[in-house]
Structure 1
């Protein structure tokens, strides 16, 4: 029997197949809904499925094709949304029991723009509480696992999005990034993600909103060309996000790849790096040389003296902790351990905050000078491949200690190990893309360019990852349930084994790991049947 694997086609190909009537949008949406049914019970990447709404939109999309109406670049293609971004009429949980019944009244700007391009919201995806950890785990629906290996993390905070895309549940998604939250999950699951220059894509409709100048909404996909299409659709001011520039970014065409000047940096600028990660970056460098780029080591000595994670701890704590305290006032006991510990952080002194801002300015000058000499920077996303989830999820004090172990040779803590590589580049606000690359593990190199040159970075990323996106996770490993709460029983291995669990129903998924309760979204738009 022929198996329909259309769920592994990228968004660009699916849009073309729908436009030319080789496939219908209904067929594409149903294929992805079936894929969610098949693999998500093992992954826990999806929080809410919008089955009925997606199929209704797909039928309307097919009618537009039949009528010869003008079609957008993503017409009829489904996409998923990190559950920190609003979809009108749908619960936005923000990964927290505090917002389990929060129904959005309007689409986030990024969601609205993908809709306007013809794309169809399919599902909301898992995340850590308040999008504030490098592991995707929360007390509402539990931990999301990596489709390559169920014992490993898909990263965070856009880990549900990266797992869904890697597993074929979605061809395209929206994530968000304040530290490493689209690029790290892309690295951990072998997909593509883009953190565009701040000022290109509005974050309107995303929570949290602070620190506003550092949050980014970014597209995630399995091909660089999908990322480039999404960037064109998502970019531009919306009249609400004051950080987005009203003047257009650089309009000159991207440089030809032949002759592009690329600096390669692995060590020591970002500390010790795992051998497999270093080999992946080197392979990407070889691929760029093969097409005529000039690639050479580009040490940044000053970078070795600046720890981006320490800057994050100072700048983020000063703004985020008071913001979270107001949101959780009186309900602190309902928070995940990570957020509870975050709220105990000491108040940042004004002198420390100013010193951190001055170091950010120093970093900006460093990279401004660097990009006068080079067109792009090729470097790791993270110092190590995806790590064990039990080590990354500090649900208990012992878990917090265990999560430090795999990073010991690289940094004093996992947060520093994962974020120090990305943290120093965040403050330049430049474009940064994590493309897939052929490797034993699903790790990614990183391509980065000067502010506003996202077209150049997309071309560099595409050239540095030849055939890298053709590997697929099997999603057939056995689930381990050692992290269940003492009162919880082992959950069913499939939806059919539990009549109360139906991911097609448009309901918020029940909590399997912590309380075993079924949580139902309150939005009227929620459906009761897929067909």
Structure 2
């Protein structure tokens, strides 16, 4: 029964608890037992939240009472350790913040709790939530449940590993350039980076550059993403980027009222893509075509004119370098790899910064033109499956690239603010997950959730789990 619990999705667990087929205490305890059994191998969980069992007991009492139950009533969830949790350590992956305990929850955490969710634990990340591998001087390195010699990604790698390994059914990560979608791809789970500002960033570190940062759900099913998004979205009166009050439909799994038009793109525009990943994208496109959608290969000229990764690098260094210098001043002996690397990078000239900002506008215009004709876009998430720990160079289709190129297909959505879903739709010859990315127009989360649900319905890999 425990395996049935810890590999169930959050929607199913909420249903079981609501119908008194299982208690919240049983669900929480099953996940705590799973953490004890497998976390020593994975190091995804860095702090257990006090009071989870007590909260589960209260949730069970509410089920037997007359109280209205939230959508996640009695279901445990985990949170990346850059997101504030009241009275629970939030140390941001750095000795500089060792022992830091916030007084209040981040807006996103408060909303999951309001929906009835129970905070179970905090998950690992890179220093300051900044890199593609989750490793730091304070809480160490996280491992991929599919192969512990490989990374679960970054910066939300601890969260992705925890969910993939059955230590959590659902959780929160953050995304500056790749960080909920890439880790989901490396561990075979699902994640959503919504339109910029849809989910407030209040109570989350760092905020620089604010216009690129997102917080979003990571889970085991598309319906869980829809459920979480329905609870998370909307302004909070504190994050000025979060202003949209547009209504959205969180329901998924229905046939669209008209034939959706979907394009798919592997290259050019994202850098080199491994052939196995390219085949997974094409397979997803073929599957949607088989389901009756209009599907065709496309190109987006704006991505070919302005390489989004280069645009991002020229902008974010200008803003993040001073922020890193400020937070590490007087703590130089507690700095890890990426803060040292960031501070060593040359400053972006004002001319290059302005040109990069103009390039970002051209990218937005390019996607706007695309979405005049199409409802969704299928692309890679990563150019290759999960890589070995510490690997800094890759040869992809005969081209040598550095590790930043792993962000080539994800960073355009941070620059433009477009929503994207990462979901598994393949397996490498080494048995590693391969995800595809489903991109929608601004505020069109319902559309891509629907497309993702259709893909999930024909996927042959949804039920696979790591053998731990």
Shorter-normalised TM range: over 0.9
For residue 384 of structure 2, give the secondary structure of its aligned residue in structure 1.
coil
Q: Structure 1 residues 250 and 57 mapped into 2: Cα distance closer, same or farther (>3 Å)?
A: closer
Does the 8 A contact of 1:257 with 1:293 survive in 2? no
| Equivalent of 2:157 in 156, 159, 162 | 159
TM-score (normalizing by structure 2): 0.95
2:415 is equivalent to residue 427 of structure 1: yes
Q: Structure 1 residues 270 and 75 mapped into 2: Cα distance closer, same or farther (>3 Å)?
A: same
Pairing 1:389-428 to 2, within 5 Å after superposition: 389-391=389-391, 403-406=392-395, 409-410=398-399, 412-415=401-404, 417-428=405-416
Does the 8 A contact of 1:285 with 1:464 survive in 2? no
Pairing 1:115-194 to 2, within 5 Å after superposition: 115-194=113-192
Quote the offset at 1:425 in angstroms: 2.9
Q: For 1:221 and 1:185, how far apart are their aligned partners in 2?
A: 12
Quote the offset at 1:3 in angstroms: 5.6
Quote the offset at 1:346 in angstroms: 2.1
Q: For 1:362 and 1:87, how far apart are their aligned partners in 2?
A: 38
Q: Which runs of 4+ in 1 moved over 4 A?
A: 249-255
Q: For 1:124 and 1:45, how far apart are their aligned partners in 2?
A: 9
2:226 is equivalent to residue 233 of structure 1: no
Does the 8 A contact of 1:407 with 1:414 survive in 2? no
Query: Which residue is equivalent to 1:85?
Result: 83
Larger Rg: 1
Quote the offset at 1:302 in angstroms: 3.3
Q: Structure 1 residues 453 and 246 mapped into 2: Cα distance closer, same or farther (>3 Å)?
A: closer
Does the 8 A contact of 1:407 with 1:413 survive in 2? no
2:436 is equivalent to residue 437 of structure 1: no
Q: For 1:119 and 1:408, how far apart are their aligned partners in 2?
A: 44
Query: Which residue is equivalent to 2:15?
Result: 16
Pairing 1:87-106 to 2, within 5 Å after superposition: 87-106=85-104
Quote the offset at 1:258 in angstroms: 6.0
Does the 8 A contact of 1:404 with 1:413 survive in 2? yes
Query: Which residue is equivalent to 2:31?
Result: 32
Higher relative contact order (CA 8 A, sep 6+): 1
Does the 8 A contact of 1:152 with 1:387 survive in 2? yes
Quote the offset at 1:405 in angstroms: 3.6
Pairing 1:262-301 to 2, within 5 Å after superposition: 262-301=262-301
For residue 103 of structure 1, give the secondary structure of its aligned residue in structure 2.
coil
Quote the offset at 1:411 in angstroms: 5.4
| Structure 2 unmatched ranges of 5 or more | none
For residue 412 of structure 1, give the secondary structure of its aligned residue in structure 2.
strand
2:72 is equivalent to residue 74 of structure 1: yes
Does the 8 A contact of 2:302 with 2:362 survive in 1? no
Q: For 1:71 and 1:444, how far apart are their aligned partners in 2?
A: 34
Query: Which residue is equivalent to 1:449?
Result: 440
Does the 8 A contact of 1:58 with 1:76 survive in 2? yes
Does the 8 A contact of 2:196 with 2:214 survive in 1? yes
Q: Structure 1 residues 438 and 384 mapped into 2: Cα distance closer, same or farther (>3 Å)?
A: closer
| Structure 1 unmatched ranges of 5 or more | 392-402, 476-531
Quote the offset at 1:352 in angstroms: 1.2
Cα distance per residue 1:76-129 (max 9 Å; x no partner):
000000000010011111000000111111000000000000000000000000
Does the 8 A contact of 1:135 with 1:154 survive in 2? yes
Q: For 1:314 and 1:339, how far apart are their aligned partners in 2?
A: 17
Q: Structure 1 residues 41 and 257 mapped into 2: Cα distance closer, same or farther (>3 Å)?
A: farther
For residue 175 of structure 1, give the secondary structure of its aligned residue in structure 2.
strand
Does the 8 A contact of 2:28 with 2:56 survive in 1? yes
Quote the offset at 1:307 in angstroms: 1.7
RMSD: 1.7
Q: For 1:98 and 1:320, how far apart are their aligned partners in 2?
A: 17
Figure out how many residues of one structure are paired with residues of the other and give that number.
461
Q: For 1:315 and 1:257, how far apart are their aligned partners in 2?
A: 41
Does the 8 A contact of 2:137 with 2:336 survive in 1? yes
Q: For 1:256 and 1:274, how far apart are their aligned partners in 2?
A: 32
Greater displacement, 316-325 / 224-233: 316-325
Quote the offset at 1:448 in angstroms: 0.5
Query: Which residue is equivalent to 1:380?
Result: 380
**Which structure: greater strand fraction?**
2
Quote the offset at 1:251 in angstroms: 6.8
Q: For 2:143 and 2:251, how far apart are their aligned partners in 1?
A: 40
Q: For 2:340 and 2:3, how far apart are their aligned partners in 1?
A: 45
Q: For 2:350 and 2:446, how far apart are their aligned partners in 1?
A: 39
Cα distance per residue 1:250-278 (max 9 Å; x no partner):
67998807611000101223232111111
Quote the offset at 1:10 in angstroms: 0.2
